[in-house]
């Protein structure tokens, strides 16, 4: 008996489950048919939309990092160790503030050593020049003596030549005396020429001595004195120390000490897509936000420079590759609380037309006279919409909308999406996609249908 009761209960439960499933399926099928019917009703009308104002402003969005527009590299020619370093990385400094000082002991020792070397070199140079000068004077004296000897020999030769006619000597004796006088003259002349060459050589040696030793060590000594006058390094501008290449006691290896970036003069370098670069121009306004501060805070900037070319690098094989794309520089207004190195989002305003009455560009047609027009539907008592042609003046366009103006248009008018689907003066059923809800499942599992109510 107990077994029969159990079987009976199981059968009843199964029947109840089957009935519930059948009821649910029936409800779902009914609602789906109802939805399909309503969709068919929607598709049987003419598509339209409600005229309203649209924001016709356009912009280019990009991102970048906050930088300084005024950067100073602090360098030095001093090759001594740093005695005092008064700043640390990240410090804010003022123009004229002492950044560091160098130890002068090593430089002064170098100066003393070089001056000692220069003094010894000068003494040696002076001695060499004095010797050369004496050699010139000696050679000149010898040349003068030889010149006198030439004059004597010349006079003797002339005298003998004049006395040849009145002398009682024989012809042979006269010829011998004249030949001897001529030989003496030639010998004196040769010795004089040799003395003149010795003078020239001595003068050249004097000039070489003077020229070789005149600038010994003077340029090195000048550099050391300049370093001695530049032992104290001061800031040439106010700003933040963003790079520090030295420490106390170190000697600069390449002359670079630190970098100062003016944090009161900020800018953002941004990359620009190729399709947008021709839209940018100097002077355009920009809005800057940062997640670090909060995207609700918007800061102002201005396009300062547009780099409208992509630079190329030449390879060793003659090929070229792009080293950078298009870019722009945005200057920020003074007082902006953004910090150097912050990542920011930038929106560059191409135009600021603001809100205007606008329609999708597909809803504008052109008549035979070249006038632009739209079709407006005026709802009648029967619920249908009578079509009226309205001439419009078109304005700025964006990717979807075109601004229109007409005394016959106002917000809330029903505009036909595709004007070539209707005729002026005719009446049609309209449906408005912006007033429809998507077909889908609601939170409770029921099917949601399109609504065609206005």
Query: pLDDT tens digits for 221-251?
Result: 787 787 788 899 999 999 999 999 999 999 9
In this structure, of 80-94, 237-251, 341-355, the range with the lowest mean pLDDT score is 341-355
Give the whole-number percent of the chain exceeding pLDDT 90.
44
pLDDT range class, residue 203, cuts 50, 70, 90: confident
pTM for this one?
A: 0.54
Q: Is the pLDDT of residue 344 over 50?
A: yes
pLDDT tens-digit map of 313-330: 555 555 544 445 799 999
Helices 105-163 and 171-213, axial angle in degrees (round to 10): 170
395: phi then psi, degrees, rounded to nearest 5: -125, -140
SS3 282: coil
Which of the two residues, 211 and 184, has the higher pLDDT score? 184
Mean pLDDT, rounded, of the chain = 82
DSSP, residue by residue, 414-432: EEES-GGGS-TT-EE-EE-
Which of the two residues, 200 and 19, has the higher pLDDT score? 200
SS3 88: coil
pLDDT tens-digit map of 43-59: 458 999 999 998 888 88
Which of the two residues, 211 and 83, has the higher pLDDT score? 83
Predicted local distance difference test score (pLDDT) of residue 410: 94
Predicted local distance difference test score (pLDDT) of residue 9: 60
Predicted local distance difference test score (pLDDT) of residue 317: 55
Q: Which residues contact 233 (CB under 8 A, 6 or more apart)?
A: 74, 76, 98, 99, 100, 101, 102, 257
CA distance 100 to 105: 16
């Amino acid at each position: 008996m107990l077994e029969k009761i159990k079987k009976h209960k199981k059968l009843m439960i199964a029947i109840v489950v089957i009935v519930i499933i059948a009821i649910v399926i029936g409800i779902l099928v009914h609602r789906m048919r109802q939805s399909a019917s309503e969709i068919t009703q929607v598709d049987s009308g003419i598509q339209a939309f409600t005229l309203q104002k649209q924001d016709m402003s356009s912009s280019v969005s990009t991102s970048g990092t906050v930088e300084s527009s005024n950067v100073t590299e602090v360098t030095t020619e001093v090759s001594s160790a740093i005695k005092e370093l008064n700043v640390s990385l990240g410090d804010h400094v003022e123009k004229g503030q002492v950044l560091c000082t160098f130890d002068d002991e090593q430089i002064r020792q170098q100066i003393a050593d070089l001056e000692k070397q220069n003094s010894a070199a000068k003494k040696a140079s002076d001695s060499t020049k004095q010797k050369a000068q004496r050699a010139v004077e000696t050679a000149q004296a010898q040349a003068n003596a030889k010149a006198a000897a030439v004059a004597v020999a010349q006079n003797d030769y002339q005298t003998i030549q004049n006395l040849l006619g009145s002398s009682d000597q024989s012809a042979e004796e006269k010829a011998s005396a004249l030949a001897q006088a001529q030989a003496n003259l030639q010998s004196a002349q040769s010795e004089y020429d040799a003395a003149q060459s010795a003078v020239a050589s001595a003068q050249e040696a004097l000039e070489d001595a003077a020229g070789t030793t005149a600038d010994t060590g003077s340029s090195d000594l000048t550099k050391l004195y300049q370093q001695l006058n530049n032992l104290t390094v001061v800031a040439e501008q106010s700003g933040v120390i963003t790079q520090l290449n030295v420490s106390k006691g170190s000697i600069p290896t390449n002359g670079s000490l630190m970098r100062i970036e003016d944090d009161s003069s900020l800018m953002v370098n941004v990359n620009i897509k190729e399709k947008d670069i021709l839209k940018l121009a100097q002077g355009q306004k920009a809005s800057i936000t940062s997640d670090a501060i909060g995207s609700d805070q918007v800061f102002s900037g201005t396009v300062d420079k547009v780099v409208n070319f992509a630079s190329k690098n030449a390879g060793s094989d003659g090929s070229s590759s792009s080293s950078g794309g298009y870019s722009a520089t945005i200057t920020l207004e003074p007082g902006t609380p953004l910090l150097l190195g912050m990542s920011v989002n930038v929106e560059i305003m191409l135009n600021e037309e603001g809100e205007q009455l606008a329609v999708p560009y597909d809803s504008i047609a052109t008549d035979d006279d070249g006038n632009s027009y739209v079709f407006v539907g005026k709802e009648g008592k029967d619920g249908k919409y009578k079509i009226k042609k309205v001439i419009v003046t078109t304005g700025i366009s964006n990717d979807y909308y075109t601004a229109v103006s007409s005394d016959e248009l106002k917000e809330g008018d029903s505009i036909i999406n595709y004007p070539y689907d209707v005729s002026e003066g005719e009446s049609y059923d309209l449906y408005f996609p912006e007033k429809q809800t998507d077909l889908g499942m609601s939170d409770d599992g029921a099917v949601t249908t399109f609504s065609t109510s206005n």
